């Protein structure tokens, strides 16, 4: 079995354990119980345009750069006028003047992520070119970074600015300047996924070679120095640990060990090792029993429990149909009213889950600040605010746990330092401390503003003079692209920053607050002719 196969098996084992205990109630709720949306408007300059199944390019001001007449369009960098347009299996590269670039090559295309299932994940600094049926790397000005020496060129997964290349049947890594980072000497190379502050000072590479019995893997640092010998059946880095040390989970003969840099701190004695994100602990499995291990390899909860799961600051375990609760140091916790306490990003409060799997909030001394009655609570990192959902109801709390406002079926949108609250009947703005502010304060650079008279919406200027008549059932605020949506009888249209109608209400959609660029709708990173 290869590396990926072992990882999949390990993941399946963990998932089974989680399902047995309480994942149904905790993990699923995070996706299911949110009856609101939180999103921000993209600031890119260029977007793919899809019209009637064909593709082109549109600028953020709504102007068409490339007509939608191609089978596909790749935009490697959405701030640069470089567009790879495909038709009938052939690529051409155009700029914003519709001039064809790089005509002297057999083919030029974007450098795609080597593992991504998405088609729009590219290296945003370079292109790959084809010459004599081999590939090289090109900058956006057409300068050759490398000769066409490679059988394959792709963007290295989880290593920004690094490129996976294949030469003479072996893989290696170069950077965007063509400098060799890993020589082409391996059957497998991947980044370790580690990033700290946008750099890879402590990053390395997982390397592998194929043998008669399957792949074996090792680990090298950024200087190509061996950290872990290439004799592992499975190998991956624990990237979630905030540490200068490199933690690696490896397996031999079907048994797992934990390495800290070059040191094997556990021995190959576990059926599986699973890192508990944000806790600096590992769940370890021996035979059919589970325990808890710290970063130093010290086991604080013996491997003798039938089931074990870390939930916030607690460890829930069971043995012989008896349930136990521990803290993360392995100390017994008696009579806790909560099954989970998870510290907020600000570190001042804890989001709690009680025995009925209802969410609330406590302070650091476990005093209840928000009653455990909600289906889900999460913290908005940008603001410190807490968003609590109960059925279709959404309640916004301050970072201190004080209720600010309660709404139903709302869309929440960060607008600079404000929160836009949009419902079917209302549209207003909150500061991060919960105070309502006028939309003219939020969109001070705009020249028209959404306004309501009776049950109908229109737009006014800064002096409240009507610019667009009050005739619409819903509107969106003028966005940073300079367009606003207008809805009449369930259909959306578009106006520009002067209040001119550029598209009568045509689009049918149940979506709250759609975003428009020109007469088209922006959705999932693509500008489309339908919502």
User: Given this model, what pLDDT does residue 487 score?
Assistant: 94
Every domain range in the chain assigned CATH 2.40.10: 340-352+361-437
Please give the structure tokens belonging to residue 328: 């993360």
Determine the distance from the C-alpha atom of residue 130 to the mean position of all C-alpha atoms in its chain, rounded to a whole number: 32
Instruction: State how far the Cα of 11 lies from the Cα of 33, in Å rounded to an integer.
Output: 25
485, 513 Cβ separation under 8 angstroms: yes
Angstrom CA distances, 468 to 421, 502, 519, stand at 22, 13, 17
Instruction: State how far the Cα of 309 lies from the Cα of 390, in Å rounded to an integer.
Output: 26
Which of 222, 63, 85, 248 minimizes the C-alpha distance to 156? Answer: 222
Instruction: State how far the Cα of 257 lies from the Cα of 282, in Å rounded to an integer.
Output: 11
Phi, psi dihedral angles at 95 (to 5 degrees): -100, -170
The CATH T-level fold of domain 340-352+361-437 is: Thrombin, subunit H (2.40.10)
- Judged by DSSP in three states, 25 sits in helix
Instruction: State how far the Cα of 325 lies from the Cα of 487, in Å rounded to an integer.
Output: 54
Contacts of 116 (CB under 8 A, 6+ apart): 157
Instruction: State how far the Cα of 142 lies from the Cα of 126, in Å rounded to an integer.
Output: 9
- Judged by DSSP in three states, 343 sits in strand
92, 102 Cβ separation under 8 angstroms: no
Mean pLDDT per 10-residue interval, the chain, length 531 residues: 40 35 38 43 85 96 97 94 96 96 94 68 90 96 96 87 95 95 96 74 91 96 94 94 91 97 96 93 96 97 96 90 94 85 82 90 90 91 82 87 86 81 80 85 92 94 95 90 93 95 88 86 88 68
290, 284 Cβ separation under 8 angstroms: yes
Angstrom CA distances, 353 to 36, 193, 365, 377, 465, stand at 20, 32, 15, 9, 50
Instruction: State how far the Cα of 120 lies from the Cα of 117, in Å rounded to an integer.
Output: 9
Instruction: State how far the Cα of 19 lies from the Cα of 308, in Å rounded to an integer.
Output: 11
């Amino acid at each position: 079995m290869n590396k990926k196969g072992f990882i999949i098996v390990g993941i399946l084992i963990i998932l089974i354990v989680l399902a047995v205990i309480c994942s149904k109630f905790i993990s699923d709720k995070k996706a299911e119980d949110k009856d609101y949306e939180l999103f921000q408007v993209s600031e890119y300059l260029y977007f793919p345009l899809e019209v009637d199944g064909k593709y082109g390019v549109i600028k953020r001001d709504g102007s068409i750069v490339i007509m939608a007449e191609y089978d596909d369009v790749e935009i490697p960098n959405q701030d640069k006028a470089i567009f790879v347009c495909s038709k009938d299996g052939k690529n051409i590269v155009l700029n914003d003047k519709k001039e064809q670039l790089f005509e002297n090559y057999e083919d030029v295309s974007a450098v795609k992520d080597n593992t991504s299932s998405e088609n729009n994940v590219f290296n945003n600094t370079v292109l790959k070119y084809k010459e004599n049926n081999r590939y090289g790397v090109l900058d956006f000005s057409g300068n050759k970074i490398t000769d066409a020496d490679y059988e394959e060129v792709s963007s290295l997964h989880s290593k920004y600015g690094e490129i996976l290349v294949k030469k003479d049947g072996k893989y290696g890594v170069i950077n965007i300047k063509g400098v060799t980072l890993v020589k082409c000497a391996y059957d497998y190379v991947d980044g370790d996924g580690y990033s700290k502050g946008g750099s890879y000072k402590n990053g390395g590479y997982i390397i592998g070679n194929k043998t008669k019995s399957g792949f074996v893997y090792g680990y090298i640092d950024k200087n190509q120095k061996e950290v872990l010998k290439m004799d592992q059946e499975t190998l991956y880095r624990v990237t979630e640990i905030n540490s200068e040390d490199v933690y690696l989970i490896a397996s031999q003969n079907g048994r797992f060990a934990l390495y800290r840099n070059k040191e094997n701190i556990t021995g190959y004695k576990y059926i599986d090792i699973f890192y508990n994100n944000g806790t600096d602990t590992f769940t370890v499995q021996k035979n059919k029993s589970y325990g808890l291990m710290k970063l130093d390899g010290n086991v604080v909860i013996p491997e003798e429990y039938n089931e074990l799961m870390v939930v916030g600051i607690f460890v829930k375990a069971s043995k012989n149909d008896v349930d136990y609760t521990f803290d993360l140091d392995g100390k017994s916790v008696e009579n806790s009213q909560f099954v989970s306490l998870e510290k907020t990003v600000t570190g001042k409060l804890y989001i709690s889950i009680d025995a009925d799997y209802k969410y609330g909030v406590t302070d650091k001394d476990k005093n209840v600040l928000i009653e455990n009655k909600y289906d889900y609570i999460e913290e908005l990192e940008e603001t410190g605010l807490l968003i609590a959902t109960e059925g279709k109801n959404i309640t916004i709390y301050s970072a201190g746990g004080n209720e600010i406002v309660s709404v139903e079926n709302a869309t929440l949108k960060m607008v600079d330092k404000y929160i836009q609250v949009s419902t079917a009947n209302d549209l207003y703005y909150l500061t991060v401390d919960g105070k309502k502010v006028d939309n003219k304060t939020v969109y001070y650079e705009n020249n028209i503003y959404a306004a309501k008279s009776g049950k109908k919406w229109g737009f006014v200027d800064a002096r409240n003079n009507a610019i667009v008549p009050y005739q619409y059932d819903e509107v969106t605020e003028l966005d940073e692209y300079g367009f606003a949506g207008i809805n009449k009888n369930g259909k959306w249209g578009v106006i520009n920053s002067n209040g001119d109608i550029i598209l009568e209400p045509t689009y049918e959609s149940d979506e709250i607050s759609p975003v428009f660029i020109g007469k088209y709708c922006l959705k999932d990173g693509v500008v489309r002719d339908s919502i």
